[in-house]
Every structure is written in structure tokens, then in C-alpha cells.
Chain A
Amino acid sequence: MDIIHPLDRYLRTDRLPHIWCPGCGIGIVISAMLRAIDRHISEGHFTQDDVATVSGIGCTARATLYLNFDSAHVIHGRAIPFAIGLKVIKPNLKVIVIGGDGDIAAIGGNHLLHSARRNMDITVIMVNNMVYGMTGGQVAPTTPMKVYTTTTPYGNLEYPLNLIKLVSSLNTNYVARASVTHPHLIERYIYNALSRDGFSFIEVISICPEVFGRHIGFRNPVELFNKLKSMIKFKAKPSIDESDIVWGKEIVLGEYVNEYKSGFIKLLYGS
């Protein structure tokens, strides 16, 4: 197919349109990621062949199917171990792990902890839609309290897992939170993450109108988008204490950790 859209050279256009529901936030994250990579490539930092994407199982993990990079679609939750192996054997690759909150935080949570502890030179993008979307809207570890889902008909009684606080407490170089309501921020954070060594973690708050919005009364993508936008607050230097997600209150975006420590690859191979 001819290249029509400016991002079509990074996409497998014969696979499009993708499987995600109308109004899903994953496509916004992917297009912002491609713009960040495009900016790096046009500035000459690396080429398209130097990028590898790894993903596990889930809605977000389908992204590697549509990206025209070297990509691997591995078993559930094990995207980060695969990415570590790839990075160690090919240190000049830019390895990007894309996953949802079920893939990265729930089943792959332990791998996230230990790759962050090693300050492994990979970029992890977690698209947090606060629910298990592909399996029908069950409660996830990141679901906020008192939110109705398929398996919590009386409201969720569990405290959510705060990934920003968890990853910030480890030896990481870059921890940021963005939101699909502000795509320019996603692009800037992914650009910053790709331009440094060490572990970088970006949480993107996403919308899932089909199974998350349906139970809380925002079935229309535009209504859920505007509701999320009304809760978002951007801060240039946020403190980690204000990173908790409570549905209906402020969700603070920003760069929580921003350091330049040397990563695992530099310690392994020398300079």
C-alpha cells in the first residue's frame, strides 16, 4: 500500500484498521510513540532498524503486530525478560516494551521490579486503562477504589497498585506519567526516555469506553475522554506522594524521576 499517512512508514498498513474498539486510547499512545521515534530518526540518533519492540498478551500488546520494526510477541507477562535478553545480546538496539496494566503490573509485576532494580537499559511503556479490557472488564490491580467493573458489582474494595511509587523506589533513571488526553506529553516523555541509558518507565493513563466506561456511566468515548481530562493535572516537578490515583480526584502528570545514572549495559561491557 502507498504511504499516505506520515506515520505509515512505521506501520504495517496491510494490517490496518486495527482491532481496537472505537475511541480506544492505545492508538493515541502508539501514534505518539511513533512520532517520538520519528523525531529521533530524523535527528540521526538511530535508524529504524535499531528499534525493537517487545510485548506480551493483551489489547496493548497487539501493537507490535502493527509496527514495522523488529518485534516479538511473547507469552503473558514475560515481555520484560525477553527484552532484557535482547538488549544484553544486542546492546546497540533500542528495546521498547509495550504492554497494558495486566501484562506489566499484574502478571509481569515481578519482572518489572527486577529489571528496574538492575537499571536495565530498556524503555517500558505501560498503557493503564485501569481494567482487564480484553477478557471482559474484570477488576485489575490498578482499578481505583469504589469503581464498578464486571467482577465488582458493589464497587471495588481494594486499594490500587501505584506503579509510579513502586518503580520510583527502585534504582531507575526515568519515571513519568502521561495521559491520552495530552498526546504531546506522551511524545515528549517517550523522546526523553529513548535519549538516555538505564531503565525508563512511562505510565500512560488511557481510556477504555467499551468495558471500563460502560460500568461507570461513560459509554461514549467522548464523555469518558472529557471526564478524564477534567481530572488531569500537569505539574513540572511533581512529588511522588501525590501520584495516587483516586477516581474523581486529581491525577497528576509529570516526570517523577529524572536522573542520568549509568545503566546495566555500561557496567557489563564497560564504556
Chain B
Amino acid sequence: MIVDRCKECGLCINVCPQKVLERGNEFNIYGYRYVSPKYIEKCVGCRLCEYICPDFAIYVEVDGL
């Protein structure tokens, strides 16, 4: 996550098939409660959140690729 680019639209939470992401309780410098990958161990690396993020805030790095 690049937290200062997040605008809290929630599209990434909506599209994630594994429900990895969750809206956090902390604020970034623009006052948005940014999304955090709370259940990162469930992630399968499908990159749907990276594709759907309109703010270039999320990217997925998969080990071993």
C-alpha cells in the first residue's frame, strides 16, 4: 500500500475474492482512513485490487515470480 494515495473508495475491498483487505482506523495525511491488508495470509495474488485501484495506491508482489 502507498497509504497517502488512498482515497477510501472501497472498490478494492469489494472486488477482493478472499476478503484480505479491510478499512483501517488510521488516517493518512489527506484525512482518509486508508485500506490495509489485514488478512494478508489469505491472499492468492490475483492482482484484482491492483487492477481496480483508481489511485495507483495498491500493488501486489508475489514471491517466487
Contacts and interface: CB of A to CB of B under 8 A. Distances in A.
A237 B18 CA distance: 32
A24 B7 CA distance: 10
Contacts of B4: 17
A20 B54 contact: yes
Contacts of B9: 22-24, 221-222
Nearest to B51: A183
Interface residues of A, number: 28
A6 B51 CA distance: 12
A220 B10 CA distance: 9
Given A22-B8, A222-B14, A226-B14, A183 B59 contact: no
Query: Max chain A CB contacts within 10 Å: which of B14, B51, B54, B59?
Result: B54
Contact of A31 (B10, B11, B56): B56
Interface string A4-21: 111110010000111011
Contacts of B11: 23, 221-222, 225
A204 B35 CA distance: 26
Q: Determine the interface band of chain B, counting residues with CB < 8 A from chain A.
A: 20 to 34
B52 A7 contact: no
Contacts, number: 63
Interface string B15-55: 00000000000000010100000000000000000011111
A31 B54 contact: yes
A109 B10 CA distance: 35
Contact of B54 (A5, A6, A23, A184): A23
Nearest to A20: B54
A87 B28 CA distance: 43
Contacts of B56: 5, 7-8, 11, 16, 27, 31
B55 A27 contact: yes
B5 A17 contact: yes
Given A5-B59, A27-B53, A17 B14 contact: no
Contacts of B2: 4-5
A35 B55 CA distance: 14
Given A5-B59, A23-B10, A222-B14, A28 B54 contact: yes
Interface of A: 4-8, 11, 16-18, 20-28, 31-32, 35, 183-184, 220-222, 225-226
24 contacts: A4-B59, A5-B56, A5-B59, A7-B56, A8-B56, A17-B4, A17-B7, A23-B7, A23-B10, A25-B54, A27-B53, A27-B54, A27-B55, A31-B51, A31-B54, A183-B51, A183-B52, A184-B51, A221-B10, A221-B11, A222-B9, A222-B14, A225-B14, A226-B14
